[in-house]
Amino acid sequence: MGGLFVTFEGIDRAGKTTQARLLAEALGDEAIAVREPGGTAVGERVRELVKDPEVEVGPEAEALLFAAARAELVASVIRPALEAGRVVASDRYLDSSLAYQGAGRGLGVEEVAAVNRFATGGLEPDLTFLLGVEAGAAAARAGEVDRFESEGRALQDAVLAAYERLAEAEPERWRRIDADRPAEEVHADVLAEVQSALAGTPA
Ligand code: TYD
C-alpha cells in the first residue's frame, strides 16, 4: 500500500483537529483529513452515542463501539485513500482506544489492541504525533464539555501516562510535539516531519 498514514493523538483539547486539518490543507489534493470517531455514517452516529453524557455505556461496549466506527472508517475511507497513494491525516486513531479504553477504563491495552486488530485488519499508522499540553492548560481551552472531559483529571492523567508508554515502546513511529504554542508553529514542525517521512529520510 502506498500513501502515508499520519495520526494525531493526545488528551482532549490538545489541538489535534486543527493540526490534522492544517496538514491536509498544506498537502492539497495529495491528502485527506479524517476524525475519529466519525467520518462515515456509522461513525458519526457512534460519535453522538459515546459523547452523550445522558447515555450510559459500559467499558467493553464503549471499546467495541469505537472499534466498530474505526472498522468502517478504515474500510471505506482510509484504506482506499492510502491505496490511491494519498496522505491520510487522522484526528485520533487506535492509540486513542489503547489509552482511553485500555488504560483509562482499565480494560487492558493488549485486550483492546486485539479487538482493534480485528477491526482494522491490522492497519497501523506510519507516523503518530503526540501533541503534548499541560493538562490544566488543555482544560482551560474553551469549548463544550463531553462525557470524557466531564470525568476529569484522573482519566486524563491515566490517558497521558498510557500515551507516554506507547510512545516509548515504538519510538520510530511516534513524534512528541510541544503543542503549547501557536497552531502555525506546531504545524511547521508537523509538516517538516511528514515531508521527511515522504522523502524516506529521518528529520
Ligand atoms: P473528540 O471531540 O473527538 O475529542 P477531542 O476533545 O480530542 O476533540 O471526542 C472524542 C472523545 O472520545 C475524546 O474524549 C476521546 C474519546 N475516544 C476514546 O475514548 N476512544 C477512542 O478510540 C477514540 C477515537 C476517542
* pLDDT tens sequence across 166-176: 999 999 999 99
Distance of CA 199 from the midpoint of ligand 1 (Å):
31
Residue ranges of domains in the chain: 4-199
Distance of CA 17 from the midpoint of ligand 1 (Å):
11
Closest-CA residue to 148 (of 106, 104, 179): 104
Each residue's pLDDT tens digit, 118-176? 999 999 999 999 998 766 666 666 566 677 766 788 888 999 999 999 999 999 999 99
How far is CA 65 from each of CA 44, 115, 117, 188, rounded to the nearest angstrom? 11, 11, 14, 34
**Taking the complete model, does pTM exceed 0.85, yes or no?**
yes
Averaged pLDDT of the chain: 93
Name the grid cell of 194. 511528514
Distance of CA 200 from the midpoint of ligand 1 (Å):
31
Q: What are phi and psi of 191, to 5 degrees?
A: -60, -40
Q: What is the CATH number of domain 4-199?
A: 3.40.50.300
